[in-house]
Amino acid sequence: MAWHVAARADEVPENEVIGVVVDGEPVALYKLGGVLYATSNVCTHEFALLSDGYVEGDCIECPLHQARFHIATGEVRAAPASEPIKTFPVKSEGGQILIELPEV
Amino acid sequence: MARDETFVIVGAGQAGGRAAEAMRAVGFAGRVVLIGEEPSLPYERPPLSKAVLTGDRPASTVELLPPGFYAQKGIEALTGTRVEEIDAAARTARLSSGRTLGFTKLLLATGGRVRTLPFALPGMPGIFYLRTLAESLALGAALRKAKRLVVIGGGFLGLEVAASARKLGLAVTLLELKPHLLDRAMAPEIAHFIAEIHRRKGVELHLGANVIGIAGKEKLAAVELAQGTRVDADLAVVAVGIAPNSELAAAAGATIGNGIVVDEFGRTSLPDIYAAGDVADHPNPILGHRLRLESWQNAQNQAIAAARAMCGVGTPYAEVPWFWSDQYEFNIQMVGAPLKTDEIVVRGEPASGRFLCFNLAGNVVVGATAFNMGGEIRFARKLVELKARVERRILSDGTKKLRDVVAALSPSPA
């Protein structure tokens, strides 16, 4: 596991999602109630970027077919997806957002 | 809830599968028997005309619920089995296996079957229909060996098949009887954008084309039009809609309209017999009229609503109709009842491939279609739900966020 810089801390607005690519991995970064979260940015149902979707409460809704995932755990909350999305450890340090990715 | 109760679900498609799941989810402890004619357990149909057809997705990925789900939840799944007759008074169902099954309550999720053309029936050389997984796999294999495809029918299914066939490299001609594509689904002004997409992708579109026959004995040679023209083809896919499977219900004495007539809880006119999904003629309180929907959303959510009502925890089913289609790189999503339209307002630049069309009836937003802007559909749906009156210049102004337009209308956004 290694920590990677994903974005500047001020780049993620409250209750929003942004898409970044970290070490080749498409990652969605969220801020909910001041807390940062990071998940895979690709829906597990069909290819779509979750960062083009919509944050509803503690879930992210895919723009393609409206599958919904729990941001903190990656669990599926609404079909048509059935596989969870990956989540990554995330922290804010020195004005930067860092996420931890498995070593390839 | 009594353990000695038996709930029978007739039809093991998306509606039947989700209903069984929902019964267990609300704690129903009795017997659940799910009966389907097809050899497979419930699966999702949307990929059958897209990724499964092109071979991009294996057939195993369309299963509705994970393997082992039915056993784990104590759901008895009888595949390859037909219900021949229902005796509503005796509360029994006679199965094709010869068994007779007693029930406490029964859900009809019998779906629909393809409408056929008398001169191009299923099983004739080169003639394909598409409704089931088996048909998708057979058509996909045939497409990979063919060069020229004719699609008969310019509805969503025909258009998705055309897009998939183009992806596989076939020359595709699409024949539609009406002067516009998607005649039953959307306003001509919006269907026009979809026609343009297909023309740009190389599909030869013939609108107002009246197919009267086929030529070729051992194998298909051509499709014949009333105008006297012939369109040469190796394969023809007939996609002219489905008819609701309401005969079983009719024979049992249920009221039939455009399908099996149900109320907002999925109840038919017969006590303790419910219906849901493609077969159900149901009221929509948001739209203010009855309708029968052939959509993923309705198959799933109306079935869940009916299942919950069967378990005594029902709430009226009331959702804005929502539908999606994927063709080429276009994700097209529709909400509302876009047929009752006086005017179309376009937001964004159609040439960019990302835009929205709003359907207005009078000054009220009654529907919307999004091209590659699925993220906006939730706000469009809200406008339909609120029966919002929004000025045309605001609807067409793509520089303002739709989310803010909705927020300005209602106290709590989306």
- Check: CB of residue A76 under 8 Å from CB of residue A69: yes
pTM of the model as a whole:
0.92
Q: Please give the pLDDT value at position A47.
A: 82
Q: Where does the pLDDT of residue B410 fall: very low under 50, low under 70, confident under 90, or very high at 90 and above? A: low
- pLDDT above 90: percentage of residues in chain B: 91
Joined tokens for residue B344 = 């179309």
Cβ within 8 Å, pair A56-B374: no
Nearest 5°: phi and psi at A58? Answer: -100, 20
Joined tokens for residue A45 = 């149902």
Asked if the model's pLDDT at residue B322 lies above 50, the reply is yes
Averaged pLDDT for residues B306-334: 96
Amino acid identity, residue B112? G
What residues are paired with B93 via a beta bridge?
A: B86, B101
What CA–CA distance (Å, rounded) separates A86 from A103?
A: 15
Q: Which of A46, A53, A79 sits opposite B375 (nearest CB)?
A: A53
What CA–CA distance (Å, rounded) separates B27 from B413?
A: 34
Alpha carbon B367 to its chain's center: 18
- Check: CB of residue B22 under 8 Å from CB of residue B14: no
Q: Where does the pLDDT of residue B2 fall: very low under 50, low under 70, confident under 90, or very high at 90 and above? A: low
Q: Please give the pLDDT value at position B414.
A: 45
Nearest 5°: phi and psi at B383? Answer: -60, -40
DSSP annotation of B376: G
| Other Cβ atoms closer than 10 A to B265 | 16
Q: Which of B44, B51, B66 sits opposite A80 (nearest CB)?
A: B44
Asked if the model's pLDDT at residue B315 lies above 70, the reply is yes
Asked if the model's pLDDT at residue B34 lies above 80, the reply is yes
Q: Where does the pLDDT of residue A104 fall: very low under 50, low under 70, confident under 90, or very high at 90 and above? A: low
Within 13 Å and on the Cβ side, how many CA atoms surround B103?
A: 31
Q: Please give the pLDDT value at position B353.
A: 94
Residues A67-86: tens digit of each pLDDT: 999 999 999 998 888 889 99
Rg (CA), chain B: 22
CB contacts, 8 Å: B322 with chain A: 66
- Check: CB of residue B93 under 8 Å from CB of residue B103: yes
Alpha carbon B251 to its chain's center: 25
Order the strands of the B256-257 sheet from edge to edge.
B256-257, B259-261, B280-284, B289-291
Averaged pLDDT for residues A19-37: 94
Asked if the model's pLDDT at residue A15 lies above 70, the reply is yes
Alpha carbon A26 to its chain's center: 9
Q: Among residues B237, B224, B218, which one has the least CA distance to residue B150?
A: B237
Asked if the model's pLDDT at residue B107 lies above 90, the reply is yes
Asked if the model's pLDDT at residue B319 lies above 90, the reply is yes
Q: Where does the pLDDT of residue B413 fall: very low under 50, low under 70, confident under 90, or very high at 90 and above? A: very low
Estimate the crossing angle of helix B133-143 against helix B156-167, to 10 degrees.
40
Helices marked H in B280-350 — which ranges?
296-310
- pLDDT above 70: percentage of residues in chain B: 98
Q: Where does the pLDDT of residue A103 fall: very low under 50, low under 70, confident under 90, or very high at 90 and above? A: confident
| Other Cβ atoms closer than 10 A to A33 | 7
- Check: CB of residue B345 under 8 Å from CB of residue B396: yes
Question: What angle (nearest 5°) sits at the alpha carbon of residue B239, between those of residues B234 and B240?
Answer: 130
CB contacts, 8 Å: B300 with chain A: 79
- Check: CB of residue B378 under 8 Å from CB of residue B384: no
Q: Which residue has the higher pLDDT, B250 or B184?
A: B250
Chain B residues touching chain A at CB-CB below 8 Å: 44, 46, 51, 66, 296, 300, 322, 324, 326, 331, 373-375, 377-378, 414
Estimate the crossing angle of helix B296-310 against helix B14-25, to 10 degrees.
40
What CA–CA distance (Å, rounded) separates B414 from B404?
A: 10
Q: Please give the pLDDT value at position B399.
A: 87
Omega before A80 within 30 of 0, i.e. cis: yes
Cβ within 8 Å, pair A54-B300: no
Residues B54-95: tens digit of each pLDDT: 999 999 889 999 889 999 999 999 999 999 999 999 999 999
DSSP collapsed to 3 states, B236-300: EEECCCEEECCHHHHHHCCCEECEEECCCCCECCCCCEEECHHHEEEEECCCCEEECCCCHHHHH
- Check: CB of residue B71 under 8 Å from CB of residue B48: no
Query: How far, in Å, are B147, B158, B166, B318 from residue B193 at the CA level?
Result: 27, 16, 18, 30
Q: State whether ipTM is beyond 0.90.
A: no
Q: Which of A54, A79, A80 sits opposite B375 (nearest CB)?
A: A54
Which residues have CB under 8 Å from A83's CB, separation 6+? A44, A45, A76
- Check: CB of residue A55 under 8 Å from CB of residue A17: yes
CB contacts, 8 Å: B375 with chain A: 52-54, 63
Cβ within 8 Å, pair B44-A54: no
Q: Please give the pLDDT value at position A64.
A: 86
Q: Which of B375, B378, B414 sits opposite A52 (nearest CB)?
A: B375
What CA–CA distance (Å, rounded) separates B68 from B49?
A: 27
The residue to which tokens 């197919």 are assigned: B211
- Check: CB of residue A49 under 8 Å from CB of residue A41: yes
Pairs of CB atoms within 8 A across A/B? 33
- Check: CB of residue B197 under 8 Å from CB of residue B330: yes
Q: Please give the pLDDT value at position B273.
A: 98
Joined tokens for residue B181 = 């594509």
Residues B146-161: tens digit of each pLDDT: 999 999 999 999 999 9
What CA–CA distance (Å, rounded) separates B188 from B179?
A: 9
Sequence-ordered strand ranges (E) for B322-398: 322-327, 330-336, 343-349, 354-361, 364-371
- Check: CB of residue A30 under 8 Å from CB of residue A20: no
Q: Please give the pLDDT value at position B67.
A: 84
Averaged pLDDT for residues B279-296: 95
- Check: CB of residue B307 under 8 Å from CB of residue B287: no
